[in-house]
Structure 1
Amino acid sequence: MDKEYDLNYIIEMKKEHPCHLSKQWKIIRMGADIRIKCLGCGASVLMPRVKFEKKLKKVISKGEE
């Protein structure tokens, strides 16, 4: 299953963030590593692209350009 995502996209991860407010994240940096920001509490997480793709559930919406 090929999931298309890019900078500023809103995505949903398989597991909920420990803040228990949201499974939704915004992609704020892309490269070999991807940084995502929790839309519930504002915390950001940096992870390798391979790990990110395993944890990604679905793309919710495209972000603003």
Structure 2
Amino acid sequence: MNYQIGDVVQMKKPHPCGTNAWEVLRVGADFKLRCQQCQHIIMLPREKFEKSVKKLIKSADIQA
């Protein structure tokens, strides 16, 4: 699956704040993600990110 900046993904495990929705801020060898509830930013290696993603909630492609 190809992910783009601006995509919102659902992770398998929730963040301690209670949500599991994350916005993709950077793609490459590492992914930079921002929690949609508390705005906490994390970086994950691509391999760990791809294993942790459950589904794509909102694609950045869909624009008016």
**TM-score band, normalised by the shorter chain?**
0.7 to 0.9
Is the 1:8–1:63 Cα contact (8 Å) retained in structure 2? yes
Determine the C-alpha separation between the residues in 1 that align with 2:44 and 2:12: 15
Determine the C-alpha separation between the residues in 2 that align with 1:4 and 1:33: 13
Is the 2:3–2:27 Cα contact (8 Å) retained in structure 1? no
TM-score of the two chains, using structure 2 as the length reference: 0.87
Amino acid at match of 1:46: M
TM-score of the two chains, using structure 1 as the length reference: 0.86
Identity of aligned residues (%): 37
Which consecutive unaligned segments of at least 5 residues does structure 2 have?
A: none
Determine the C-alpha separation between the residues in 1 that align with 2:15 and 2:30: 19
Which consecutive unaligned segments of at least 5 residues does structure 1 have?
A: none
Number of residue-to-residue matches in the alignment: 62
Counterparts of 1:32-51 in structure 2 under 5 Å? 32-51=29-48
Aligned match of 1:12 = 10
**Offset, 1:62:** 1.1
